[in-house]
Amino acid sequence: MTAADAAIEAVSTTAVLLVALDFDGTLSPLVDDPMTARMTPRARAAVDALAALPDTVVALVSGRSLGHLREIAEHDDASPIWLAASHGAQFWTPGAGEEPAPDDADDLALRDRLQSTISGGVDHLDGVWIEPKEFGVGVHTRRADAAATEEARGLADRLVAEEAPDWRRRTGHDILEFAFRHEGKDSAVEHLRERIGATAVIFAGDDVTDEDALGALASGDLGIHVGSGETAATLKVADIDGLVDVLEAVAHQRVAHAQ
């Protein structure tokens, strides 16, 4: 048995398992139009199979706003899947729905102003798209060339530095994001762990923001990095299908362990 197989078996047989998964690049391929992202059929089947098992909770942990995450995940009110959106500033709980989150009128007004100002400032740049975020703003540059990307990011950095220097700055796959809420995927996973009483956690992600959660996992947890690059994860897989192979193995072992 390899070290990877042993780690998968150990976490698969825990009493109460939380399977927390990033969405974009982890369950869904990265796409030019973010709202067209969908889980691959194999990923959907693996997620649904795990969510149907006893003492097993599946959660999507994403930087997407809650409404957008529900849309791309095709998540309805009957879903057993928990959601941690906006990097853990928003939660959706099965049977209860969206959890109330504190709002600050001044922060929201500043958010609206910055969204409008940044959007107007990059209108002339081909391939740059501004995403209004629940708690901030995202600058997407997947379809932009290097010059347009540099100009758009420079403009956003300058405006936020002047108007909202305390906002949290994040980068990811072709996105620069700012938010007045400072939660991260590490705090999101810990909140979920406590809420469900998980005795072990699997967390999988592919991007820089996922490293917050991967680096904060405890002994006995399993972190999985999808793709190449440096990571704090215990296990690396090449792509979405590689992650699905692991999720299928976990589901199989949990069923066998319960018999």
d(CA 127, CA 29): 19
What's the rounded Cα separation, in Å, for the pair 184 and 187?
Answer: 5
Within 10 A of 215 (CB to CB), how many other CB atoms are there? 12
Share of the chain above pLDDT 70, in %: 99
Query: What letter represents residue 147's amino acid?
Result: A
Q: What are 125-135's pLDDT values in tens digits?
A: 999 999 999 89
Q: What is the SS3 assignment for the chain?
A: CCHHHHHHHHHHCCCCEEEEECCECCCECCCCCHHHCCCCHHHHHHHHHHHCCCCEEEEEECCCCHHHHHHHCCCCCCCCCEEEEHHHCEEEECCCEECCCCCCHHHHHHHHHHHHHHHHHCCCCCCCEEEEECCEEEEECCCCCHHHHHHHHHHHHHHHHHHCCCCEEEEECCEEEEECCCCCHHHHHHHHHHHHCCCEEEEEECCCCHHHHHCCCCCCCEEEEECCCCCCCCEEECCHHHHHHHHHHHHHHHHHHHC
Which residue among the candidates 5, 22, 106, 206 is catalytic per the annotation?
Answer: 22
Interatomic CA distance for residues 26 and 35, integer angstroms: 15
Are residues 185 and 61 in contact, defined by beta-carbon separation less than 8 angstroms? Answer: yes
CA dist., res. 25 & res. 226, Å (int): 8
CA 7/CA 259 separation, integer angstroms:
21
Task: Give the pLDDT of residue 211.
Answer: 96
CB-CB contact of 205 with 225 (8 Å): yes
Q: What is the pLDDT of residue 22?
A: 98
Per-residue pLDDT tens over the stretch 189-228: 999 999 999 999 999 999 999 999 999 999 999 999 999 9
Per-residue pLDDT tens digits for 69-117: 999 999 999 999 999 999 999 999 999 999 987 768 899 999 999 999 9
pLDDT at position 204: 98
Structure token digits, residue 204: 């999988």
Q: Is the pLDDT of residue 235 over 90?
A: yes
Residue predicted with more confidence, 44 or 1: 44
By CB neighbour count within 10 A (0-12 exposed, 13-18 middle, 19+ buried), where does 146 fall?
exposed
Torsion angles phi and psi, residue 57, rounded to 5: -115, 130
pTM of the model: 0.87
Q: Is 48 a catalytic residue?
A: no
* Contact predicate 195/59, CB 8 Å: no
Longest CA–CA span in the chain (Å) reads: 62
Q: Which residue has the tokens 């540059």?
A: 141
Query: What pLDDT sits at residue 105?
Result: 87
At residue 173 the predicted structure's pLDDT band, cuts being 50, 70 and 90, is: confident
